[in-house]
Structure 1
Amino acid sequence: MRIHSGGPAIATPRNETRDKRRRILDAAVGVFAARGFYNARVSDIAREAGVADGTIYLYFKNKDDLLISLFEDRMEGIIAAFREKLTATDSARVRLRVFVETHLRMVADHPSLAEVLTVELRQSSKFMREYKAPKFQEYLGLLEEIVELGRQSGEFREDLDPRITKRVLFGALDEVSLYWVSTRRKPYSLERAAEEILSICASGVFSQQE
């Protein structure tokens, strides 16, 4: 999920630089998804982006840096889109539904990007061991805000720990997404998966006082 601004761009060196970087990132999504992170070569990405191999290194230190930059770039757009949708309601229950449905819809609508974000990122030891992933923490923060809102409003159980609950909820979304993108013959619809997750939330997360 990526928000692109419309309208013609004036040809300036800065715009040209941004355009090349964008082309490289867009090309990386397809190459990483098709070949896998380990098997993908910088030359493959350069060819797909229509740039020389050496041009990649003007923007990224190495393949790991490219993958991390791709993650940060795409997560920025995803978080902005989520925030816009979530602020349309004050209900924690509705916000949680919006979050779950939007997450899984993104996976269904952008399977190549979803494969990179759920599968290929785990193949980078640099990402898993060294990278702090501030954008991922911000994404989890959206879930934590929903849980805290629900506790305060009485919609969710008061004894929930938002720090733990956000990871439980994301874990469910991540596992469902990971299995779905990794399976050639899709075992279930993501719409059904969203309803199952929300049904579990109704039993374990939502307040039963209403």
Structure 2
Amino acid sequence: MHRRADAPPPRPARVPRPAGGAGEGRRARAAVEHGLVSVAVGARGPRGGDKRDRILKAAVKVFARKGFYASRVSEIARAAGVADGTIYLYFKSKDELLTSLFEDRIARLLTLLREECARYDTAPDRVRRLVEFQLGLLEGERDLAEVITVNLRQSSRLLKQYATRRFAEYLDLMAAVIADGQRSGELRGDVSPRIMARVIFGGLDGVAMTWALGNAETGSLRRAASQFADVLLDGLRATPNAAALPPQEP
């Protein structure tokens, strides 16, 4: 049987459950969500090492405090405890530093999101987890949230890369989760998975930016994530009158 040309993207590959049972998995997830595992800059191999990570972490603080354009490489070097010239051993420019910060962060985030999707059996649960997990990670990293939602927009070069590479991987993951739910009959079939992926991203980005720039109380981002997921799923769940198949992808 041949798949229709307008059929939704394939279901994302499931990731094996971690060894140690459900209790260990819950503890690992709790560690990530409470900031014990940073997604800003992951562990690096011989190419980078601790010094590269220190520079990236320092850049987050400086960019969040002063903004991308007003920040100087010398300030980042001072915050990282390295000489100015050391920055250029790892990054050719301030733009490349911001690019690397984003790519490290989104690569780690994609890995974690795929692992989270594999832990849930239903499409609505996966959608909810994608929303709550992403915003939950930012709850303890306000500086990172500000850099990701505000400072990225100040670099046109990065935005172009952002829209064509890592961002495409992120949207593919979101769209695959939606399409999977459409095939199972759990999510309505009369919406485009790709359009919904963009809607989800836009909503998450707006919630995170408003939170990062405001004076929100502790826990408010998690509460917002729960409400966002509720409203999203109210509109996405399948109804008896919904079309059986999604429209052709734009």
TM (norm. structure 2) is 0.74
Measured in 2, the distance between the counterparts of 1:103 and 1:171 equals 13
Which one has the bigger helix percentage?
Answer: 1
> Among residues 150, 166, 171, which one is paired with 2:202 in the alignment?
171
Q: CA RMSD in A?
A: 2.3
Tell me the equivalent position of 2:215. Answer: 184
Measured in 2, the distance between the counterparts of 1:27 and 1:202 equals 38
Measured in 2, the distance between the counterparts of 1:4 and 1:74 equals 8
- Report Cα offsets for 1:95-154 as digits up to 9, x if no partner: 001101001101212111111111111111221245555222212222111101111111
Letter in 2 for 1:58: L
After TM superposition, where is structure 1 displaced by more than 6 Å over at least 4 residues in a row? none
Per the TM alignment, residue 162 of structure 1 is displaced from its structure 2 partner at its CA by: 0.7
- Please say which of residues 129-138 and 92-101 is displaced more in the overlay: 129-138
Tell me the equivalent position of 1:200. Answer: 231
Bigger relative CO (Cα 8 Å, ≥ 6 apart): 2
Measured in 1, the distance between the counterparts of 2:42 and 2:155 equals 28
Tell me the equivalent position of 2:9. Answer: none
| Corresponding residue SS for 1:37 | coil
- Report Cα offsets for 1:152-196 as digits up to 9, x if no partner: 111111111011110011111111111111112459822332232
- Please say which of residues 15-24 and 192-201 is displaced more in the overlay: 15-24
Tell me the equivalent position of 1:107. Answer: 138
Tell me the equivalent position of 1:76. Answer: 107
Tell me the equivalent position of 1:137. Answer: 168
TM alignment of 1:58-97, pairs within 5 A:
58-97=89-128
Q: In structure 2, list runs of 5 or more residues that go unmatched.
A: 1-37, 241-250
Measured in 2, the distance between the counterparts of 1:169 and 1:132 equals 15
Q: In structure 1, list runs of 5 or more residues that go unmatched.
A: none
Tell me the equivalent position of 1:33. Answer: 64
> Among residues 134, 137, 157, which one is paired with 2:188 in the alignment?
157
Measured in 2, the distance between the counterparts of 1:116 and 1:130 equals 16
> Among residues 175, 178, 186, which one is paired with 1:147 in the alignment?
178
Per the TM alignment, residue 77 of structure 1 is displaced from its structure 2 partner at its CA by: 1.3
The answer as to whether partners of 1:76 and 1:135 remain within 8 angstroms in 2 is yes
Per the TM alignment, residue 18 of structure 1 is displaced from its structure 2 partner at its CA by: 2.3
> Among residues 120, 138, 147, which one is paired with 2:151 in the alignment?
120
TM (norm. structure 1) is 0.87
Measured in 2, the distance between the counterparts of 1:208 and 1:101 equals 24
Tell me the equivalent position of 2:29. Answer: none
The answer as to whether partners of 1:151 and 1:160 remain within 8 angstroms in 2 is no
- Please say which of residues 127-136 and 174-183 is displaced more in the overlay: 127-136
- Please say which of residues 28-37 and 134-143 is displaced more in the overlay: 134-143
| Corresponding residue SS for 1:109 | coil
Letter in 2 for 1:80: T
- Judged with a 3 Å threshold, the aligned counterparts in structure 2 of structure 1 residues 93 and 130 are, in CA distance, closer, same or farther, namely closer
The answer as to whether partners of 2:171 and 2:194 remain within 8 angstroms in 1 is no
Identity of aligned residues (%): 46
Per the TM alignment, residue 203 of structure 1 is displaced from its structure 2 partner at its CA by: 3.0
The answer as to whether partners of 1:180 and 1:186 remain within 8 angstroms in 2 is no
Per the TM alignment, residue 78 of structure 1 is displaced from its structure 2 partner at its CA by: 1.2
The answer as to whether partners of 2:42 and 2:105 remain within 8 angstroms in 1 is no
